[in-house]
Amino acid sequence: MNFLLALLLMLAVPWSGSAASPAANHENFLHCLSTSPAANVSKIVFYTPANPSYPSVLQFSIHNLRFNTSAAPKPIVIVTPQTTSHIQAAISCSHKHRLHLRVRGGGHDYEGLSYVASRPFFILDLINLSSVKVDVAARTAWIQAGATIGELYYQIGTQTTTLAFPAGVCPTVGVGGHFSGGGYGLSLRKFGLAADHIVDAHLVDVKGKVHNRASMGEDLFWAIRGGGGNTFGVVTAWKVNLLPVPENVTVFTVTKTIQQNATGIINRWQQVADRFPDDLFIRVILDRTETTTNSTATGRASFNSLYLGQVQSLLPLLQRDFPELGVEREDLIELTWIRSILYFAGYPTDSPLEVLRSRVPLTRKRNFKAKSDYVTEPMSERALEGIWRRILRPDIEDPELIFSPYGGRMSEIPESSIPFPHRAGTRYKIQHLVYWEREGREATDRHVDWIRELYGYLAPHVSKNPRLAYVNYRDLDVGSNNGAGFTSNEEARVWGVKYFKGNYERLVRVKTAVDPRNFFRNEQSVPPLTAWK
């Protein structure tokens, strides 16, 4: 055994008593990596529990502290590829030594599926594949799958003021998972989803072969644009079209408490938000605050808006179509599109654009649980009052609901265009969230039970048969595959139709064609028609 290989295997030995003991499969996996003809071993970087950097590398991209505990399963190895050949080597060695693979981009999976598994596994962490190349003249960008949407925004914003991309508001989110589930932001009513504007991709398949759009075929290219991550292969890069925006856009946030008729204004918002001109997006964030008079808790609705136009045209539109909100000239801020990204991310709008490149979130990491719903008809004020009662429960640390309007371009794109199906007929989407800092089982159970009870309460007021959900707001409560990987198509359909509606069956056909033995899998990945061991 040569010196370098001996050194690698020495670092592979975990701490005494760890569940990841130095079993043959992981030593053989490391040996396979180090000797693979598909990669140069001197350039493969990986971490085992014996490596002092292992905890920091593992935890850096964990954004839900609910899965950053001593009891959470840990990977035997974290591989951080720097080239496509490293990914090919990892896939090949995973096959040979039956070590389960999880792919991590930004680490924002709501249920931790990119870095937690119930069987021995390794993480393929794409953090080093993070370059973004913008072509302003062609109005396109190539984005490596480990990049964040903040990096994408930075590269666009430093090169042009009149092109944009319709992705999310959180700059630390990885493009890999974001695009794989559809991905949306505050310009979805104008442009649709991020995945609606993907025009090419590079993917490593189950056999280690590298594809672009032409070689993978249109069925697989369709599936990876919204069919969920870690299912069909490892996407290493995406090509997207950039979209024109005005030199200046307008933003505002207006808050109303229950005492200021928040309930009635939300009720009116339900009637008009999906019918505004498609340049206008107004979402509503429901949480709680203290009253100014006696410091008691009350419900607060924050009307948070992006308008792809100037103040002079927005103000009369709001006064005509949504006077109940009471927006005044001093509420409106006109700025460039890239500065609006800073605004919605929570940064001062005069911050240097470099802050968008940071992978460290602006707010502290916490425990959280999330759910999602789609609303087709306005709920009553009485139903809204029931939401407020739950938000005001004093033993729940930080509850929040976000209502995001649809309509506009979202209603024009056919629901079979990509796997994401939630289009015409949707008034708005609800994201249910609850955050907490207190550690321990009791606190976790209390907050998870709270959001499940809220979810049950809302059942009469949201979509039905099936009750729909958004795959990027991952929620194992709506259904889960067998963790051992033997899930049948019938079992997976329980959750699959909630995320994908009628597109689920096509996703299964694609999966069966490209990964019939279900190598790429997690608790909510689309399985092939036949379950394999």
Per residue in 227-242, pLDDT (tens digit) is: 999 899 999 999 999 9
**Res 223: pLDDT:** 98
d(CA 38, CA 122): 19
Residue 440, sorted as left (phi over 0), alpha (psi -120 to 50) or beta, turns out to be left
User: Is the per-residue pLDDT at 4 higher than 60?
Assistant: no
What is the mean predicted confidence (pLDDT) over 503-531? 94
**Res 40: pLDDT:** 63
User: Is the per-residue pLDDT at 208 higher than 60?
Assistant: yes
Range with the poorest average pLDDT among 23-27, 232-236, 326-330, 334-338: 23-27
**Res 37: pLDDT:** 75
User: Is the per-residue pLDDT at 408 higher than 90?
Assistant: yes
**Res 295: pLDDT:** 76
Cβ contact 179:195 at 8 Å: yes
User: Is the per-residue pLDDT at 87 higher than 50?
Assistant: yes
Q: Which residues of 357-391 are buried (b: 16+ CB within 10 A; e: fewer)?
A: bebeeeeeebbbbbbbbbbeebbeeeebebbbebb
**Res 8: pLDDT:** 36
**Res 531: pLDDT:** 63
| Mean pLDDT, the chain, integer | 93
Look up tokens 């087709």; give the residue: 376
Q: Would residue 473 show up in a list of annotated catalytic residues for this protein? A: yes
Residue 196 in tokens: 């609606």
Q: What percent of the chain has pLDDT over 90?
A: 88
**Res 15: pLDDT:** 27
Residue 212 pLDDT grade (very low, low, confident, very high; cuts 50, 70, 90): very high
Model-level pTM?
A: 0.94
User: Is the per-residue pLDDT at 407 higher than 80?
Assistant: yes
**Res 14: pLDDT:** 30
| Catalytic annotation, pick one of 54, 473, 499, 504 | 473
**Res 489: pLDDT:** 87
pLDDT tens across 14-45, in order?
Answer: 322 333 444 567 889 998 998 887 666 557 89
Q: Which residues of 334-351 are buried (b: 16+ CB within 10 A; e: fewer)?
A: bbbbbbbbbbbbebeeee
d(CA 342, CA 329): 21
**Res 21: pLDDT:** 45
In angstroms, how far is CA 248 from the centroid of its own chain? 28
User: Is the per-residue pLDDT at 2 higher than 90?
Assistant: no
User: Is the per-residue pLDDT at 12 higher than 50?
Assistant: no
Residue 251 in tokens: 């933003």
pLDDT tens across 463-500, in order?
Answer: 999 999 999 999 999 999 976 667 788 889 999 999 99
pLDDT tens across 135-160, in order?
Answer: 999 999 999 999 999 999 999 999 99
Cβ contact 151:130 at 8 Å: yes
pLDDT tens across 410-460, in order?
Answer: 999 999 999 999 999 999 999 999 999 999 999 999 999 999 999 999 999
pLDDT top residue among 116 and 1: 116
User: Of 305, 299, 292, 301, nearest to 331 (Cα)?
Assistant: 305
**Res 251: pLDDT:** 98
Cα separation values, 496 from 117, 329, 420, 421, Å: 20, 46, 11, 12
**Res 482: pLDDT:** 79
User: Is the per-residue pLDDT at 528 higher than 90?
Assistant: yes
Range with the poorest average pLDDT among 30-44, 55-69, 180-194, 291-305: 30-44
Cα separation values, 229 from 25, 163, 325, 465, 472, Å: 26, 27, 39, 25, 9
